[in-house]
Structure 1
Amino acid sequence: MNIYTLIIWLYFTIFIIDAAPITSKSNSISLKKIAPKHSLKEVHQFYKDYFILKYQNIHVTDQDKLASDKKILSGSENLTISDILGYYGEITLGSQEFKMVFDLGSSDLWVPSQDCTQDSCVSHKRFNESLSKTFNSTGTPFSVAYGAGSVTGITGKDNVLVGGLKSEGQEFGLVQEEVGSLFQEAEYDGIFGMGFNDLSSIGTPTPFSNMVEQKAVTNPYFGIYLQRSNDTGHTGTLTLGDIDTTKFTGNLNYNNVSTLHREYLYWILDVDDISINGNKLNFKNKLATFDTGANIILMPEEDAATYHKFINGSSLNEYGIYTVPCNTMDQVAYIIGGVSYNIDQSDLVTESDCSSSVQAGSIGDDNMWLIGDAFLRNVYSVYNIKNFTIGLAPVSK
């Protein structure tokens, strides 16, 4: 088994997310996520390699910086297998229901086509053009390349219904061929990208962008709430065009999203610093990509080492994995936009093997972090595609 096959296998067995019923609020969808169950070494290997593939286009060399002034970074080369990570729920596409991943780190909508006869397609719901009276074929070829395979097909247009809200005439991808068994074991059918339009491999506005332009939603933002694990597993709520004020305390603090190669692609924020037990770590010029598909926080090796120097009882084991006491009581806060966001002690340690929720791993240069659920469970986050901001507020206890 090669490393990329192992990564995909680990994802399917660790991070598969269970669809939950749509809530009574018409513009909200309930989400559920199964907690990781595999060994510390396996989980760390997954994160170390998988997210390097996901965000490979963030890494910028000096030559890339020179070229970025002349060439827009886009296209299928820049997307990776990471697009399949995230929380999922049901949508209706052309009167047919699909389980879709809602991914902050990608911007395309695609599903398997009825023309795809491979096992990885047949084992999932496939789009049947003949069953939709509103479908129109555009026939434009598209391809999305991954670290361990790729999907190709043609585009079409149809109506998309999410939580009672419609995107009319949405262009989406109809997968006709999958190279590599990337999705054969997945419990969902396709991807619902929620990044910015310029990240789209197909080259079309995202479904949420269309909802905004078509005034299907009142506001150009969506809110995400991720509940801490309970008896039924991790749950969450995605609210389109609105803010669920019952999920947070105080006021939302808005922060400007940073560009990448002068474009808005990912949900990236500046991070001021981290405070541990009242001690600031003096991090400078750090950027963080927000990703609901990551359970932990990834930092370059030097930053991760600095962080763990202040965590009582932390250690680095023979696998290069940081561990912390399972009952750690350290007080950790991330400072963003001048505001401190406290991290619950239960989010300082993962649910398997008492590994730290902060691990070493690079997704770009030495200033780029990946911020996952270990932080996001402690805040209510609002993503505005027009003002290019992320609003944050502490979650209600």
Structure 2
Amino acid sequence: MRERGVLSTFWKNHHFDMMRYSDTCPVATQASEPLVNYMDVSKTRVRVSRQLLATTLTDLLNYFSSPGQAEYAGQISIGTPPQNFTVIFDTGSSNLWVPSSLCTSHACEIHNRYLSTKSTSYQADGRSFSIQYGTGSLTGILGIDKVTVQGISVSQQKFGESVSEPGSTFVDANFDGILGLGYPSIAVGGAPPVFDNMMAQGLVALPIFSVYLNSIKVNGVVKFCRDGCQAIVDTGTSLLTGPSGDIKVIQNLLSAQSLDEGVDAVECGNIPLLPDITFQINGVDFTMTPSAYIQMETLNGEMQLCTSGFQAMDIPPPAGPLWILGDVFIAQFYAVFDRGNNRVGLAKVLP
């Protein structure tokens, strides 16, 4: 796939979506104050600043530079002295993990690895953990150390030290690990999320990532969710996913053709003729034009591969059926995550 020039597109379409079927362990703690997530979108970079209780800003960069693509990654450090890592800030999961120096998987060897013996603030937890994503998995042990995000240091933070990352899922990733921003109830191993600990220590509040869809329109006509449906906003999911039956209808409307790599391709010359797709949330329309939901990639410096930003994912009850508004959707709008009031706000981005 790398030789054919479609590996980047395949990675986007087979991203390890974070609304998962992993083991969860509920925690009793609850958030009580809001975190505001300000998102400003440009064609080649996404810059996100999080309003802390202090005036510190955390910038998250887009590692996929294609228009409309976003992989919200930033720098953190773990330990004393600090060991630096690039992590995905993911609203659809709750655990922090980075590769361990004990890991011999190829994915670990080509990324930054945490060395516990070099940190004077490290404490062993010793329990094992396992996370199974939609694509890819990892296993490891839990540790405890100081975690710093943009100058905000969290003490006694439990995190995962990955010791096995089989397969190729994480090999081509432009990040070392993942920092989950979700609720503690979905944290594997009962490890309190980083921002829960920030809140508990008086440093920061937490975001929320759920939203209710009134309907989904194609060229102004309601096609899906006539009676409403559930959805989540997830920065850890690259595409926009929904029930397979509904997504099949959308792909047919786009005249998309499935490639052997699982990518749904469309004719690049037909993009101006494709319909606008509108998500109505609490009575407000959020419209995506074809240029927003179609991904274009240059092959061999000339040919373009154009693919649909929609992907089928059937999530069983009780969590599903569910739509996941991933980065294809989020990158078009200004988002405010309010954990304290259990809501998320979306607005159109002004030019």
Cα distance change on mapping 1:152 and 1:372 into 2, 3 Å: closer
More strand by share: 2
Q: Please state if 1:362 is matched with 2:314.
A: yes
Matched residue SS, 2:153: strand
Cα distance change on mapping 1:26 and 1:173 into 2, 3 Å: same
Q: How many angstroms apart in 2 are the aligned matches of 1:142 and 1:185?
A: 23
Cα distance change on mapping 1:183 and 1:9 into 2, 3 Å: farther
Q: How many angstroms apart in 1 are the aligned matches of 2:62 and 2:144?
A: 29
2:243 to 289, 300, 309: 300
Q: Please state if 1:388 is matched with 2:333.
A: no
Are the equivalent residues in 2 in contact too, given 1:160–1:166 (CA < 8 A)? yes
Aligned pairs for 1:242-391 within 5 A: 267-281=209-223, 283=225, 284-304=227-247, 306-307=249-250, 314-317=254-257, 321=264, 323=266, 325-328=270-273, 330-352=275-297, 353-364=305-316, 367-391=321-345
Q: How many angstroms apart in 2 are the aligned matches of 1:307 and 1:196?
A: 31
Q: How many angstroms apart in 2 are the aligned matches of 1:358 and 1:159?
A: 39
Aligned pairs for 1:157-236 within 5 A: 157-217=144-204, 220-222=205-207
Task: Give TM-score scaled by structure 1 length.
Answer: 0.63
Report the CA distance between 1:92 and its aligned residue: 1.0
Cα distance change on mapping 1:9 and 1:179 into 2, 3 Å: farther
More helix by share: 1
Are the equivalent residues in 1 in contact too, given 2:12–2:239 (CA < 8 A)? no
Which structure's relative contact order is higher, taking Cα pairs within 8 Å and 6+ residues apart? 2
Cα distance change on mapping 1:335 and 1:116 into 2, 3 Å: same
Cα distance change on mapping 1:361 and 1:396 into 2, 3 Å: same
Gapped regions of structure 2 (runs ≥ 5): 17-43, 298-304
Q: How many residues align?
A: 297
Report the CA distance between 1:274 and its aligned residue: 2.3
Task: Give TM-score scaled by structure 2 length.
Answer: 0.71
RMSD: 3.8
Tell me which amino acid in the other structure corresponds to 1:30. Answer: L
Report the CA distance between 1:166 and its aligned residue: 2.2
Q: Which residue matches 1:97?
A: 84
Report the CA distance between 1:270 and its aligned residue: 1.8
2:139 to 149, 152, 155: 152
Are the equivalent residues in 1 in contact too, given 2:271–2:290 (CA < 8 A)? no
Matched residue SS, 1:327: helix
Are the equivalent residues in 2 in contact too, given 1:15–1:34 (CA < 8 A)? no
Q: How many angstroms apart in 1 are the aligned matches of 2:257 and 2:46?
A: 37
Report the CA distance between 1:205 and its aligned residue: 1.2
Q: Please state if 1:28 is matched with 2:58.
A: yes
Matched residue SS, 2:188: coil
Q: How many angstroms apart in 1 are the aligned matches of 2:101 and 2:234?
A: 31
Matched residue SS, 1:195: coil
